[in-house]
């Protein structure tokens, strides 16, 4: 196999049959290239789905009050459910082993003013732990703290784009803004990877909003963060327990699905990951199809090559060449062409994925990539089958008697 004469003969054959060699190599390289690119696109789809959830914490369950559709325990249907401050303390008291934190959320939209600048922004009344639920990043200043909640202070944490819109080049920290007719001191500026909409919000203590709104204790939503070690199964079990807790406390019939609405990020994430994996499998199936097409292509070409060289092989056998030497020469040529072409196709495919980067985000493909071991494995598979594709016709040719081969036209 490592004979210098064998290699000299292989290179001479390649030199004499440039078109055939090019077609063989092109088929292999194209198969690997398409596989790498398609597999990378599949990973890009998975990245897109994961980014959708990475903006917020992945261990949270959000509860929304609804409206009952069934009468229960003397209460009529059509009753609007409301959450209040007592629900927060009851959850913390009844489920302490499963929780990281609990935070309410009150959502409003206020005209926000600073000097001559004004705009409408979404304003949220929250607790300090809401920062972890939204993965809010403080750029300067600080976030809300527990003292703000207790004293119902009029302080605000504004988004990066809110500061840009209202303050321009001026530093917002320490200045006062008019928030729906009430004056709030800006104590922090945040950024959020969720995009522009997330950075055009204002956060204030939820107790302060309750005080402004006629001293009510109502909240719009309740966000429960469970311990990550619970896993998916534990998160689903906790969701069911909390649903039962709310329905019993608010007198909602257990079978009424409209009294309480629940968004479990863990469940949504798992469903999305499953969908992404299915899409990846489909893309991978198509990608492997291109490899199979490459194998078939190289096999057909090698059959033609052997047939074309039948007389040559007959002469070699007549001069004393053994069947083993005939097979090894053809097999080595096949493996050599397949290896070089496969590696070239793999490198080009990886280069294409690297150059695309974020250019396909509009098509829901984010940072497409392929793990190098996967690309190498696919290339090795193609090389192995390329060798098999060369071995089968070579073995058939080695069995031909010299006199028969010399008569071939």
Position 130 scores a pLDDT of: 95
Terminal-residue alpha carbon distance, the chain? 29
The rounded mean pLDDT for the chain is 85
The whole-angstrom separation of Cα 163 and Cα 187 is 12
Residue-wise DSSP of 233-282: HHHHHHHHHHHHHHHHHTT--TT-SSSEEEEEHHHHHHHHHHHHHHHHHH
Residue-wise pLDDT tens digits, 327-357: 777 777 778 888 888 899 999 999 998 888 7
- Assess contact for 360 and 48: CB atoms under 8 A: no
Asked if 165 and 117 count as a contact pair (C-beta separation under 8 A), the reply is yes
What local confidence, expressed as pLDDT, does residue 404 receive?
59
Output the pLDDT for position 126: 96
pLDDT of res. 266? 79
Nearest one of 120, 88, 124, 122 to 106, comparing CA atoms = 124
- pLDDT value for 34: 87
Tell whether the model's pLDDT for residue 160 goes beyond 80.
yes
Helices 310-318 and 323-356: crossing angle in degrees, nearest 10, is 140
DSSP letter (8 states) at residue 143: -
| Token pair of 137 as six digits | 């990043």
Strands 221-226 and 60-65: antiparallel
Q: Whole-angstrom Cα distance, residue 352 to residue 375? A: 13
CA distance 375 to 38: 11
pLDDT number for residue 100: 93
**Please, which pLDDT band fits residue 298 given cuts at 50, 70 and 90?**
confident
Residue 140 near residue 129, CB atoms below 8 Å = no
Distance between CA atoms of 163 and 190, rounded to whole angstroms? 9
3-class SS at 122? Answer: strand
Burial class (CB in 10 A: 0-12, 13-18, 19+), 16: exposed
The residue among 131 and 404 whose pLDDT is bigger is 131
- Res 222: pLDDT: 96
Lowest mean pLDDT among 248-257, 345-354, 359-368: 359-368
Does the pLDDT at position 279 exceed 80? no
- Rounded to 10°, the helix 372-398/323-356 angle is 160
- With a cut of 70, say whether residue 16 has pLDDT above it: yes
Between 184-188, 265-269, 320-324, the lowest mean confidence (pLDDT) is in: 320-324
Query: Bigger pLDDT: 313 or 24?
Result: 24
Query: Can you read off the two tokens belonging to residue 303?
Result: 């059959």
Q: What is the pLDDT of residue 56?
A: 64
Q: Average pLDDT for residues 80-108, to the nearest whole number?
A: 94
Mean pLDDT of 4-33: 76
Lowest mean pLDDT among 85-99, 111-125, 261-275: 261-275
Q: Quickly state the pLDDT bin for 402 (edges 50, 70, 90).
A: low
How much is the pLDDT for 388? Answer: 78
Tell me: pLDDT of 147 over 90.
yes
Three-state SS for 217?
coil
Enter the pTM of the model: 0.66
| Token output for 351 | 């280069």
Query: pLDDT tens-digit profile of 44-80?
Result: 877 877 666 555 677 899 999 999 999 999 899 999 9
Q: Tokens 């919000």 belong to which residue?
A: 201
User: Which of 195, 137, 131 lies closest to 161, judged by CA?
Assistant: 195
206-219 pLDDT, tens digit per residue, is 999 999 988 789 99
Q: 157 or 269: which carries more pLDDT confidence?
A: 157
Among left, alpha and beta (phi > 0; psi -120 to 50; other), residue 2 is alpha
Give the residue, 176 or 8, on which the prediction is more confident: 176
Read off the pLDDT of residues 180-198 as tens digits, 9 standing for 90 and up.
999 999 999 999 887 788 9
What is the Cα Rg of the chain in Å? 34
Kindly tell me if the per-residue pLDDT of 314 is higher than 80: no
């Amino acid at each position: 196999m490592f004979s210098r004469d064998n290699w000299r003969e292989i290179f001479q054959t390649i030199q004499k049959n440039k078109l055939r060699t090019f077609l063989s190599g092109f088929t292999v390289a194209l198969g690997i290239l398409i596989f790498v690119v398609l597999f990378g696109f599949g990973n890009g789809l998975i990245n897109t789905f994961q980014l959708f959830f990475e903006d917020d914490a992945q261990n949270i369950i959000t509860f929304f009050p609804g409206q009952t559709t069934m009468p229960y325990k003397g209460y009529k249907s059509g009753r609007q459910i409301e959450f209040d401050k007592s629900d927060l303390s009851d959850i913390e008291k009844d489920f302490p082993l499963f929780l990281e934190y609990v935070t309410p959320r009150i959502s409003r939209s206020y005209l926000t003013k600073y000097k001559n600048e004004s705009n409408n922004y979404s304003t949220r009344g929250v607790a300090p732990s809401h920062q972890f639920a939204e993965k809010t990043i403080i750029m300067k200043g600080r976030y809300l703290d527990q003292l703000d909640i207790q004293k119902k202070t009029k302080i605000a944490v504004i988004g990066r784009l809110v500061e840009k819109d209202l303050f321009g080049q001026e530093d917002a920290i320490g200045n006062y803004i008019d928030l729906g007719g009430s004056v709030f001191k800006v104590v922090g500026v945040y950024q959020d990877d969720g995009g522009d909409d997330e950075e055009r919000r204002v956060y204030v203590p939820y107790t302060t909003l309750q005080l402004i709104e006629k001293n009510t204790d109502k909240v719009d939503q309740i966000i429960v963060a469970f311990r990550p070690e619970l896993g998916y199964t534990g998160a689903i079990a906790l969701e069911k327990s909390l649903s039962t807790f709310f329905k019993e406390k608010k007198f909602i019939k257990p079978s009424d699905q409209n009294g309480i609405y629940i968004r479990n990020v863990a469940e949504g994430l798992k469903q999305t990951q499953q969908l992404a994996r299915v899409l990846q499998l489909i893309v991978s199936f198509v990608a492997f199809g291109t490899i199979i097409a490459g194998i078939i292509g190289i096999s057909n070409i090698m059959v033609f090559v052997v047939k074309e060289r039948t007389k040559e092989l007959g002469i070699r056998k007549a001069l004393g060449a053994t069947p083993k030497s005939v097979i090894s020469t053809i097999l080595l040529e096949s493996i050599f062409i397949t290896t070089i072409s496969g590696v070239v196709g793999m490198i080009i495919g990886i280069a294409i994925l690297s150059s695309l980067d974020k250019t396909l985000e509009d098509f829901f493909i984010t940072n497409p990539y392929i793990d190098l071991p996967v690309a190498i494995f696919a290339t090795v598979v193609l090389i192995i089958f390329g060798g098999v594709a060369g071995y089968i016709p070579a073995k058939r040719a080695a069995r031909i008697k010299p006199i028969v081969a010399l008569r071939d036209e």
